[in-house]
Amino acid sequence: MHSDERAQGQASGLILLTLVCALAALTLAGWQFFERDTSLASVDGSAGAIDEGTINRIHALEDAVARIETEPSEDLRASGSPNDGASARRAANEARFAKLDERIAAIEASVARLTTARIHAPNTDSGAAGTSTTERPARDNTAEASKYQVTAADANADVEQRMRALRYLRGVDGGRSPSVVAAMIHLAQTSQDPEVRADVWRQMSQAKDKQLVAPMLQAVQSDSHPKVREEAAETLGDFLDEPGVRSILQHVAANDAEDDVRRQARRSLERTRR
Q: What pLDDT, on the 0 to 100 scale, is given for residue 42?
A: 41
pLDDT at 68 (0 to 100)? 57
Amino acid at the residue 160: E
Domain range 141-270, CATH class: mainly alpha
pLDDT value, residue 262: 98
Alpha carbons within 13 A on the beta-carbon side of 139 = 17
Question: What is the predicted pLDDT for the residue at 107?
Answer: 76
Report DSSP state, residue 30: G
Asked if 71 and 263 count as a contact pair (C-beta separation under 8 A), the reply is no
- Report the candidate in 30, 6, 274 with the shortest Cα–Cα distance to residue 164: 30
Q: What is the pLDDT of residue 142?
A: 81
What is the length of the chain?
274
pTM: 0.55
Domain boundaries along the sequence of the chain: 2-119, 141-270
Contacts of 32 by beta carbon, 8 Å cutoff, 6+ apart: none
Contacts of residue 202, Cβ cutoff 8 Å, sequence gap at least 6: 231, 234, 235
With beta carbons less than 8 A apart as the criterion, state whether 80 and 89 touch. yes
Q: How far apart are CA 68 and CA 97, in angstroms?
A: 11
**pLDDT value of position 44:** 44
pLDDT of residue 145: 93
Residues of the chain with pLDDT under 50: 2-3, 6-7, 31-50, 73-80, 121-140, 273-274
Cα distances (Å, whole numbers) of residue 249 to 62, 204, 239, 260: 24, 18, 11, 13
What's the CA gap between 63 and 230, in Å, rounded? Answer: 13
Q: What is the pLDDT of residues 104-120, one digit of tens each?
A: 776 776 666 665 555 55
Residues sharing a CB contact under 8 Å with residue 146, sequence separation 6 or more, in sequence order: none
224-243 residue pLDDT tens: 999 999 999 999 999 999 99
pLDDT score for 46: 42
Rounded distance, CA 113 to CA 116, Å?
5
Please, which residues have CB within 8 angstroms of residue 75's CB and are 6 or more apart in sequence? 8, 9, 12
